[in-house]
Chains A and B, each alone.
Chain A
């Protein structure tokens, strides 16, 4: 443990009901002949309606934690319960279904499909539902309207600015009305102005639409827009020293 950090027991009381509960979660990788412990016996509770920022240096395990919460990676130990469902022991197919229904991902590099228009990109998660084409289109356009991009529905990602691409990414994340939004450095690739607009949007989604958001960021300015901030270092949640 570094000299200026200490093991964290959750620093403030959390309101019920708890949406996300992690108990003793560990994650290890084999690299060469060596075992690397990325997450160490991590406990975390996130209440419904929270907007949590996760900060920490590179390699501290933030993104790994996000991947575990999103069900695109599996823990080596411990339990992860989200919305009352234990996802750490779900089978591959069940986990994929669960992810489609409950998680909205917002990536640093947007990860839009370059061959599709903004509307079609937003529609992608809806392809996994039983909605008709008309209903999918209506919902995709509504999501684009919510992020302020109604007039860019027919544009391809290459015809959009970085901020607009990220807005499309957010529209894609919310179009299925997921239980939780997971944002991995959502402003990391944007200038300050565009980044602020994205943070405003996330804040609005949290405050006005009650979305639970967990955001990984390096940027204290971005973290300040969240309701609370937790710090990670070397695979543990740590108490950040007061300056």
Chain B
């Protein structure tokens, strides 16, 4: 700490240059963080996908609820659930979350990743105005099991003209899926459907669990064949296949963004490293004075490297904070397609390692020059 005044004075020596350097490092690591978040989001899509699940969508519009029993009777399908719902909020319009209307028994059968106690399961199954909520949303609003919760819709209206569904919290579920999945409120489709004003008896999507993932394509075909002469026709595919299609379509853009972003990241850092090296080179004679005063190689190196690493770590940390905020903002728009979007801890660790590494390189390059130069020569040149 006794060297801090010296370090701090050097950092403030050319304030504008330091600010621009910090800004460049911040921008570079904000980009790094965003790229990491996007990459994590893309990877997350595949991890969430289950080979034992297939999904049925309408080729046009929504599907009638009457498709449900027919799908469940298709050979190879072991469980079916369906989704409808709305964007809801609690007390204040800022407190938004996704309300999913589903068939409870089917939902828990199709999604074994969702963990819910036996007592809560039974309570929810038997309670039409009942609901379950993810751990995160329950914690955020302080909900307790048994609490009556007014869930308000942003757009969907009830037959009586109101937009509030009163539900009783029967249980709080947990899951290893990304956090987004812990922010849902799941309600009975029947309860929702009984009172919704429009699109009654229609669902947005069916999700099926199948007995043999190797038969996913054939089972999907059987489902689509069932509705070949119906309106709307369906398009069924395994979650993995759907995800792969998504990755192919979206992933190409993602890959290009990743490559361009990485190139920009390294370019910015190289420019920054050069600027920082230049700032040290300008002080060669001062470093020689320190050597003449008795500062050893280790101490002089430590001062130069600490200054460089300090700038990259401060700038880099700010960059990751910016990236985190940006990722949070972007997540709100893309959570349906990239539910795992977010900066993973491993990326933060890698980021810190890169910050330190670039700082060391920025300081080490001019240090070589400082050590090649004898103090006597440097003092004479000054």
Q: Write the residues of chain A forming the contact surface with B, with a CB cutoff of 8 angstroms.
A: 63-64, 67, 70, 72-73, 92-93, 96-97, 99-101, 103, 105, 107, 109, 111, 113-116, 120, 124-125, 127-128, 133, 136, 172
Contacts and interface: CB of A to CB of B under 8 A. Distances in A.
Given A107-B379, A111-B382, A116 B296 contact: no
A contact patch SS: helix
A124 B299 CA distance: 12
Interface of B: 2-3, 5-6, 9-10, 12-13, 285-286, 289-297, 299, 374-376, 379-380, 382
Contacts of A114: 13
Nearest to A101: B294
Contacts of A70: 292
A127 B2 contact: yes
A101 B296 CA distance: 12
The 3 closest A-B pairs by CB, nearest first: A100-B294, A115-B9, A67-B376
B294 A97 contact: yes
B297 A99 contact: no
Contacts of A63: 380
A172 B290 CA distance: 12
B294 A109 contact: no
Given A72-B374, A99-B293, A128-B294, 16 more contacts: A63-B380, A64-B376, A72-B376, A72-B379, A73-B376, A92-B297, A96-B296, A100-B295, A105-B292, A113-B9, A116-B5, A116-B6, A120-B6, A124-B293, A128-B293, A133-B2
A120 B5 contact: yes
Contacts of B375: 72-73
B3 A127 contact: yes
B9 A109 contact: no
Nearest to A113: B286
A113 B289 contact: yes
Nearest to B382: A109
Contacts of A107: 289, 379
A141 to B, nearest CB: 15
A111 B289 contact: yes
Contacts of B290: 124
28 contacts: A70-B292, A72-B379, A73-B376, A96-B295, A96-B296, A96-B297, A99-B292, A99-B294, A105-B293, A107-B379, A109-B382, A111-B289, A111-B292, A111-B379, A111-B382, A113-B9, A113-B289, A114-B13, A115-B9, A115-B10, A116-B5, A116-B6, A124-B290, A125-B293, A127-B2, A127-B3, A136-B2, A172-B293
Contacts of B382: 109, 111
Nearest to A120: B5
